[in-house]
Amino acid sequence: MNHRTIRDDTGTAAVLPAGFSAVELLDDDVVATVTAIADRDGREAVLTLAKAPAPDQARTAFRRWAKGLLDISGGPHVARMIAADITPDGRPFLIVESGPVLADHLDEHGPFSVRSTRDLGIAIADALAAAHSVDIPHGALQPATILLPNDRPALAGFGMNAPGLAVAAAVDAYTPPEDLPAALAGRIVAGLAGDVYRLGVTLYVLLGGELPWQQALFDLAARSVALPEIPGVAAELVALLRAATTADPLARPSAAQLRDWLAGIVMIPSTARPAPSRVSCSRAAESARSDDAERHCLARPVSGRGQRRAPSPGPRLRVCRPCPRPSRCRISRRCSPRRQPPPVGCRSSPSWRSPSSR
């Protein structure tokens, strides 16, 4: 692996685990810096380090949060936490293993089969259930925060809502309707029911479904529309995803219930599914000439901290950088999000969003 040397004036070197070295600065915002690191064997991880000392109360909350994450990080479907602590000068930091992400797989191979989607849903719902059992909401679940190490899904990105590292995220296709007002006001919000909603949207996207609100991200009425049927996908599975994404958070199943419901679906061979049309998002993002291209560029809601790569929604939601404001992403080297929203009147893709997944 070729490591690109980066200038370190943030204290990153002082918190690197033994055998690890910095590879690349992934993001740098007002809250924290995020650095890709790797050991001599090529094992990858992401280091998120706060820029400013945290107040005593925030330090206590961070340690409590880190202990809860440590308790579940040994599970089969939660990305392994390597370290989490407070620097001598009071700055929280988090180091989590990284690797290939679901968003890239979706971009390269298109929608998943029904069986693969169900199996991934069971795994990630199980990870959410474990996190919720220790009172840790995720708040940033989407294809960018799901790792695929050895083709075994693992949930990462918890750090986006960690005390002392949390950052407000703009609205995107995965934002639960109950969180829209807070997100629009720039407030940090995460909840258990919201996590279930995000997983439901993610699974629907993996199946190639087209979200009713993907062209109207700020429209609460659009987000209240039931998810449409998907050709070739059993109505039972779509009905389950509708329950997970209902506008009423109190009516959604818990993560554990969603896991059990998915596990209870009997897989029956269905008719062949039509291949989704392809749109080159790289060309669409550069030229911004096609409304159809913008509509399909929801795939990778340029997003947050955590992994080396990033996400996707829609029929065959493609990877793209809708907003022409390049910067490093906390999830991916080629995606760009922890930044301020475009100014009023910006004509870049409506899927643009600021960071949301560490």
Tokens of 29: 């915002």
Average pLDDT for residues 271-287, to the nearest whole number? 41
At residue 254, the 3 state secondary structure works out as coil
Average pLDDT over residues 34-51: 90
DSSP per-residue string spanning 59-78: HHHHHHHHHHHHHHTTSTTB
% pLDDT > 90, the chain:
45
C-alpha–C-alpha distance, residues 34 and 24, integer Å = 9
What does the pLDDT read at residue 343? Answer: 32
Reported confidence tier of residue 335, pLDDT bands at 50, 70, 90: very low
More confident residue, 141 or 274: 141
pLDDT of 268 reads 57
Q: Is the pLDDT of residue 292 over 50?
A: no
State residue 301's pLDDT score. 39
d(CA 45, CA 35): 9
What integer pLDDT is reported at residue 222 of this predicted model? Answer: 86
Query: What confidence score (pLDDT) does residue 6 get?
Result: 56
Q: pLDDT tens, 6-21?
A: 555 667 888 888 888 8
More confident residue, 358 or 279: 358
Rounded to the nearest integer, the mean pLDDT of the chain is 76
Q: Residue 311: what pLDDT?
A: 37
CA 134, CA 73: separation in Å to the nearest integer? 12
If you average pLDDT over each of 159-173, 194-208, 294-308, 311-325, which comes out highest? 194-208
User: Which residues are 97's β-sheet partners?
Assistant: 45
Q: Does the structure show a pLDDT above 60 at 351?
A: no
Instruction: State the average pLDDT over residues 89-113.
Output: 92
For the cut 80, the answer to whether the pLDDT of residue 231 exceeds it is: yes
Helix (H, G, I), strand (E, B) or coil at 177: helix
The reported pLDDT for the residue numbered 201 is: 95
State both tokens at 214. Answer: 């993907």
Distance CA 335, CA 272 (A): 33
Question: Do the beta carbons of residue 79 and residue 44 sit within 8 Å?
Answer: no
Residue 326 has pLDDT above 50, yes or no: no
Helix (H, G, I), strand (E, B) or coil at 279: coil
Sheet holding 81-86: strands in order across? 20-28, 32-39, 44-50, 92-97, 81-86
User: Which stretch of 77-86, 237-246, 262-271 has the lowest confidence by average pLDDT?
Assistant: 262-271
Distances (CA, A) of 258 to 49, 125, 144, 203, 243: 34, 7, 21, 12, 9
Encode pLDDT of 147-206 as tens digits: 998 878 999 999 888 999 988 777 889 999 998 888 888 888 889 999 999 999 999 999
Residue 327 has pLDDT above 70, yes or no: no
Has residue 39 got a pLDDT over 60? yes
Query: What's the pLDDT score for residue 114?
Result: 93
- Asked whether residue 314 carries a pLDDT value surpassing 60, the answer given is no
* Average pLDDT score over residue span 328-337: 36
CA-CA distances (angstroms) from residue 344 to 13, 318, 340, 347, 348? 40, 25, 12, 9, 11
Tokens at 9, concatenated: 């004036």
